[in-house]
Amino acid sequence: MGIGKAREMIWGILGFGSALRLISLNQSLWLDEAINVMAARSFSFFGMMTQYAVADFHPPGWFIILWIWGKLFGYSEVAVRIPSVIIGVLTIYIIYLLGKKLISKNVGLIAALLLAINPLHIYYSQEARMYALAALAVSLNMLLFIDFVKGGKGNKGGMGNMVIYVLSNVLVLLSDYVAYLIFPAQLIFLVFLKRDAIKSWLVYLVLAAIAGIWWWPVFLKQLDTGSVASANLPTWKFVVGGFDFKTIPLTFVKFIIGRISLANKVLYAAALLPVVLLFGYLLWQGAKQIASLPRRILLIWLIIPPVIATLVSLFIPVYSYFRMLFVIPGFVILIAGGILSFKKKLQYSFLAGVILTQIFCALVYLLNPNYQRDNWKGMVSYFRNIQPEIILFESSGTLPPFDYYAGGSLNAKGALKDFPARDDSAVAGLSELLKEKKEIYLVDFLVQISDPNRLVAKKLTELGYQEKEIKDFHGVGFVYLYEKN
């Protein structure tokens, strides 16, 4: 394939990937996005880094981007997600360069196409959070690591090359803590295959860590805050990612189909089986046919971070499949290599099967609100239309996505004095709060964490309220209407 043709194709892939990532970009913000956005809107830059970040256990990279971007372009759903769209599209191009450098130009193009249509990568390229940034940072870092391993630019010792490599390490350190697992993966590779490069590699990593020394005090505070939260909210680990034997197989499935699922698990499994077999076969074929050095790099990238994250999750809840987004590039390059290992007719057949599967899954998410983010926007719109006397939350206050959309236009309160609610003292103030109120709407978002014994509902019954109606808002949960006779 000529240079001009390849250039046209990669531009077409980037354009297609961009278009997919702009569909439904104005869907409702979910909890974590809204928390970030409300913080960026209200805190100074210094406050965002030193106060807000203490309670959001992530490095500062995304906070910096969101704060600056929001000040320039505002805080609408589309505005705050555009940085992730740009980051996601840049990652597609980096994957092209990775595939081209590791194997061939054709593998690079197909890998870029597969990432462009990957439903999980599309999802997180539309989220105002740091996961797409982590995927970009690790991909760029791995591109330079390959040069380093091959004794190319990254390993010649020139000051300019050293600075670029150190900066790529810094970008990983700024992106997401779970993305740090790429460094043990690289070290394992070097220990077995390139021991003479370990010293230089460690120097580059230490220099990057020193460059981030200003963040260390905040990180220590984050650890302290996280340990307190873990002690007070033992069920939170099931939300953020505790140990489960299903995590690694689930990660593989989600890399293929994204976040869609079916309520009927038998039908879901039946539909998944041929898809998983197809991708598994191509993955195995890619690992078998690709040359030794590229294969080892890709397998280390794909396998080591999930395995370490699983082991760490025995003690600290860190593993959720979306936090492994930074290993998807290794996955798609192996799939691309597997496809191109066949003769032409089979190449087209396998490529068509993969493309149709992933486009279908991506469009199900992009066009069906039931597979999109929590519908806080719809819930607030409903409340604005009916203007209820009072809205109660199973929390000590209202929640950021509600505040983002309501903007103070609705009478809403937290039902709990203490979070989480442990005994009746947590709801002791409800009788005074609800004085002369005949209708109450109760939002039970994350009630299993904040009020697992349903103390608020019991208290409402004691006060003479009866449940009259239930509404379900996707992702937010049930909203109960209580009336007093």
| Chain segment 128-187, per-residue pLDDT in tens | 999 999 999 999 999 999 999 887 444 555 677 889 999 999 999 999 999 999 999 999
Same-domain status, 311 and 395? no
Are residues 131 and 229 located together in one domain of the fold?
yes
Both tokens assigned to 226: 């996280």
Q: For position 159, what pLDDT does the model report?
A: 77
Distance in angstroms (rounded) separating the CA atoms of residues 309 and 305: 6
Dihedral (CA of 336, 134, 272, 281) sign: positive
- What distance, in Å, lies between the first and last C-alpha atoms of the chain? 77
Tell me, yes or no, whether 71 and 186 share the same domain: yes
* Residue 242 is assigned to a structural domain of this protein: yes
Residue 229 has pLDDT above 80, yes or no: no
Q: State how far the Cα of 192 lies from the Cα of 182, in Å rounded to an integer.
A: 16
Bridge pairing between strands 391-393 and 439-443: parallel
In a domain, 252, yes or no: yes
Give the three-state DSSP class for 415: coil
**Residue where a domain terminates, one of 366, 385, 418:** 366
Domain range for 104 is: 3-366
d(CA 180, CA 161): 21
| Residue 76: partners with Cβ closer than 8 Å, 6 or more residues away | 26
pLDDT of 226 above 90:
no
Q: Comparing C-alpha atoms, which of 52, 91, 89, 92 is closest to residue 70?
A: 52
> Is 30 contained in some domain?
yes
Of 402, 392, 358, residue with least CA distance to 479: 392
Which of 366, 401, 421 is the last residue in one of the domains? 366
| CA trace torsion 404, 406, 412, 418 (10° rounding) | -10
For residues 444 and 340, membership in a common domain is answered with: no
Q: How far is 324 from 247, CA to CA, in rounded Å?
A: 11
Helix (H) or strand (E) holding 470: strand 465-473
Q: 350 and 380, same structural domain?
A: no
Please state which of the ranges 65-79, 242-256, 377-391 shows the lowest mean pLDDT: 242-256
Any domain includes 371: no
User: In this structure, which long-range contacts are made by residues 108-111, counting pairs with CB atoms below 8 Å and at least 24 apart in sequence?
Assistant: 108/336, 109/1, 109/6, 109/9, 109/10, 109/13, 110/336, 110/339, 110/340, 110/351, 111/329, 111/332, 111/333, 111/335, 111/336
Instruction: With respect to residue 165, please indicate whether it lies within any of the assigned structural domains.
Output: yes
Kindly state whether residues 319 and 383 are assigned to the same domain.
no
Do 330 and 388 reside in the same domain of the chain? no
Least confident of 155-169, 193-207, 230-244: 230-244
Residue 381 and residue 256 share a domain: no
Same domain, 307 and 384: no
Over residues 253-289, the pLDDT tens digits come to 999 999 998 888 889 889 999 999 999 999 999 998 8
Domain's final residue, options 337, 366, 395: 366
User: Cα Rg for the chain, rounded, in angstroms?
Assistant: 24
For 105, the enclosing helix (H) or strand (E) is: helix 105-116
pLDDT tens across 469-484, in order?
Answer: 999 999 999 999 999 8
Is 393 found in the same domain as 343?
A: no
Is 139 found in the same domain as 96? yes
Q: Kindly report whether the global pTM for this prediction surpasses the value 0.85.
A: yes
Pair (313, 408) in one structural domain: no
pLDDT at 232 over 70: no
Given a cut of 70, is residue 240 above it in pLDDT? no
| Domain-located, residue 92 | yes
- 193-206 average pLDDT score: 94
Average pLDDT over residues 296-320: 90
Least-confidence region, from 44-53, 226-235, 322-331, 450-459: 226-235
Number of separate domains in the chain: 2
Choose between 45 and 319: higher pLDDT: 45
Q: Is residue 467 part of a domain?
A: yes
Q: What is the mean pLDDT of the chain?
A: 92
Q: What confidence category does residue 234 fall into, taking pLDDT thresholds of 50, 70 and 90?
A: low
Share of the chain above pLDDT 70, in %: 95
Edge-to-edge order in the sheet of strand 465-473: 412-414, 391-393, 439-443, 477-484, 465-473
Tokens representing residue 49 in the block: 């880094």
Q: How far apart are CA 166 and CA 139, in angstroms?
A: 14
Asked if residue 234 belongs to a domain, the reply is yes
